[in-house]
Amino acid sequence: MKQISELVKQLHKRLQEVARPEPGRERITVSLTLQQRTSLLSWLAAQPIFPQFYWRQRDDLEEAAVCGEVIRFNDADSARYFLMTNDVADMRIWGLNTFDQVETPSLNTPKSALFLPRIELLRDMDGGKLVVNLYSETSLADDVAIAQKTIEQLTTSRPLPVLNVNVNSVQHQPEKQGWCDLLNQALEAIQQGQFEKVVLARKSTLSLNEPLNPAAFLNASEKVNHHCFHFMMRMNDKTAFLGSSPECLFLRVGQHLTTEALAGTVASSSDNQQAKQLGDWLMQDKKNQHENLLVVDDICQRLHGGILAIDVLPAEIVRLRKVQHLRRCIHAELAVANDADSLQRLQPTAAVAGLPREPARQFILQHEPFTRDWYAGSAGYISLNQTEFAVSLRSALVEGSNIHLYAGAGIVAGSDPEQEWLEIENKAAGLRTLLEE
């Protein structure tokens, strides 16, 4: 990467060229040569500018490290309206959406934490670039002055520290007996016909011997949790929500939307033959196939009315480090490209809430002993031409020396509480084992 001092000098000159006393918006771009693949995350971690958002696409086609806030949006509708009224090529709004797209006033949690960043460091198939976003409803020159102060704070990348923390204690919500009781309540509700499926989750709070560096934690996850979306929303220097999720909520390019049903789980193995045997069992297991098809049907029904055509691909096995999943990809042609509408239709999916969605969601709200907030919501970006959100699974909330890990399991008729406890243990292990190696 070019020296920061050289970049700042170049950016100051470009910013002065667009400073004017009337309202406006601009996107200043400088091409870069990125030397290391991990440089974006380590660069972001070194910056004193918040909020911060990191994104690495599942197929590693794109990576982004963004920081600073030009404008904030508490829901996807307002973010979409801003993009439509301020048509700037390639402008993206980054961040998170809550699990059920409902504000939680008591916890001061809006529907979304989406923002247009001041600074973006981006990598894609064409190379790297540094971007400065500008916007003002009164004077672009005033916003240029703010941007110039921000870029003066930019600093060089520093190597991320190696994880070296000890877990002092672990507390689950619910603990195992409470989990079994909760599942038995759910199974009784299923038997009474209240819903066909509900996805129940556990929050595990790990108390550490010292504060956890969230970027170092995510970096460790990236190295071992392959074929995942990696994301991190860092609100300040002590709090971050991050994850390594295998599931795409949706990718929209123009009016073409791709989504997926990722439901049905079995353990994985480092032994290829054993992993294949487990995967073959998953492909043939009626309970897991039924669970996956419930999600497929729900997605198709929810998209109905907003699409011109839809196609469901055959089931396949997704092999991860600790678990394997059944996945069916779904392609649809949208009648109108409206990302807020797609979010409303698809989130939360049956894979993270249940089916039918509303009674399952109500059961979760009434019976789970914690509030999900960002967990099982979505993380990603909105833009005019292309939008992508990952379901925020295999995720954690870092608060100083405490880290909260989340994992869930789909409950249908015939589910066994002991087996489902083992499933969430395996899912949580994808992140927890990083602290214990």
- The C-alpha atoms of residue 66 and residue 377 are separated, in whole angstroms, by 20
The answer to whether residues 160 and 41 touch, using CB atoms and an 8 Å cutoff, is: yes
Please tell me which residue in 197, 203, 322, 427 is annotated as part of the active site: 197
Bridge-based pairing of strands 395-399 and 239-245 is antiparallel
**72 DSSP 8-state letter:** E
List Cβ neighbours of 304 (8 Å cut-off, separation of 6 or more): none
247 is catalytic: yes
Catalytic residue among 26, 120, 222, 247: 247
**What one-letter code names the amino acid at 115?**
F
Q: Contact at 8 Å (CB) between 255 and 85? A: no
Q: Closest Cα to residue 229, out of 203, 250, 210, 213?
A: 250
The separation between the first and the last C-alpha atoms of the chain, rounded to the nearest angstrom, is 32
H helix intervals, 164-266: 176-191, 214-224
Is 22 within any annotated ligand binding site? no
For residue 118, give every residue at least 6 positions away whose Cβ sits within 8 Å of its Cβ, in sequence order, or none: 49, 67, 68, 69, 70, 132, 133, 147, 150
Instruction: Specify whether the CB–CB gap between 404 and 203 falls below 8 A.
Output: yes
CA distance 154 to 5: 9
Instruction: State the DSSP H helix or E strand holding residue 10, giving kind and residue range, or none if neither.
Output: helix 4-18
Check if 129 is active-site. no
Question: Per-residue DSSP letters for 256-316?
Answer: EEEEEEEEEEEE--SSHHHHHHHHHHHHH-HHHHHHHHHHHHHHHHHHTTSEEEEEEPPPE
Alpha carbons 270 and 407: distance in angstroms, whole number: 21
Asked whether residue 399 is marked as a ligand-binding residue, the answer is no
Our measurement of the distance from residue 200's CA atom to the centroid of its chain's CA atoms, rounded to an integer in Å, reads 19
Q: Which of 175, 198, 200 is nearest to 368 (CA)?
A: 200
DSSP 8-state code for residue 65 = E
List residues forming the annotated binding site.
Answer: 291, 423
List residues forming the annotated binding site for Mg(2+).
Answer: 291, 423
Question: Would you please indicate which residues are annotated as catalytic (active-site) residues?
Answer: 197, 247
